[in-house]
Amino acid sequence: MSSLTMAEKICLAMRMLYLKGLITPLAGNISVRIDNRILVTPSAKLKFALRPEDIVEVDLQGRVLRGDKPTSELPMHLGIYRVCKECRSVVHIHGVYAPLLRQEDLALLPMDVELEYVLRPRICFVHTKPPGSTELASAVIEGVSSGCNVVVLERHGIVAVGSSLELALELAEAIELAARRMISGYAKR
């Protein structure tokens, strides 16, 4: 059995996120840093149908080396890699529950054992900013620069960073699940 290339892993991750309802057909993005280049999802392509050849390769300044137009959130990804040297992946999802959280909810987020003792998220909150904007990118970069590995975006989604694609995916999904548990618990009161 051959191992998957990183571009194949990104495509598989995007399909998985779509099937779980964590991204919509055109929203959400992933990047992976490999040395001095970044593989990133493209703009304006169906995320559940991405093929390895659709993945865009850019340098650390954002110049396209291979592929079409990268995600509009590329400046956010580039900034994260500039301030977080150990970060090797950025995952941005548009979950159902996390966008409903308020800043004060983060302290109450239910942590299961894996989340609390294994993943140990450091969570920041960003108030509503336009998607793809420099304001959003700056706010997320500031959060990561302050030591957060998860940034909850009010009315938008989650940005998770990690030393691998797998870790960033796990963080994003675990926080979305915790938000679901919290909001479901509130609904039962």
Supply the residues annotated as catalytic: 73
Q: What phi and psi values does residue 35 have, to the nearest 5 degrees?
A: 55, -120
Residues in contact with 22: Cβ distance below 8 Å, sequence separation at least 6, in sequence order = 28, 93, 94, 95, 96, 172, 173, 176
Burial zone of 12 (CB within 10 Å; 0-12 exposed, 13-18 middle, 19+ buried):
middle
How many other C-beta atoms are found inside a 10 Å radius of the C-beta of residue 50?
Answer: 22
Cα 50 versus chain centre, distance: 17
Residues in contact with 99: Cβ distance below 8 Å, sequence separation at least 6, in sequence order = 152, 153, 154, 155, 156, 157
Quote the CA–CA distance of 178 and 2 in Å, as a whole number. Answer: 35
- Is the Cβ–Cβ distance between 108 and 180 less than 8 Å? no
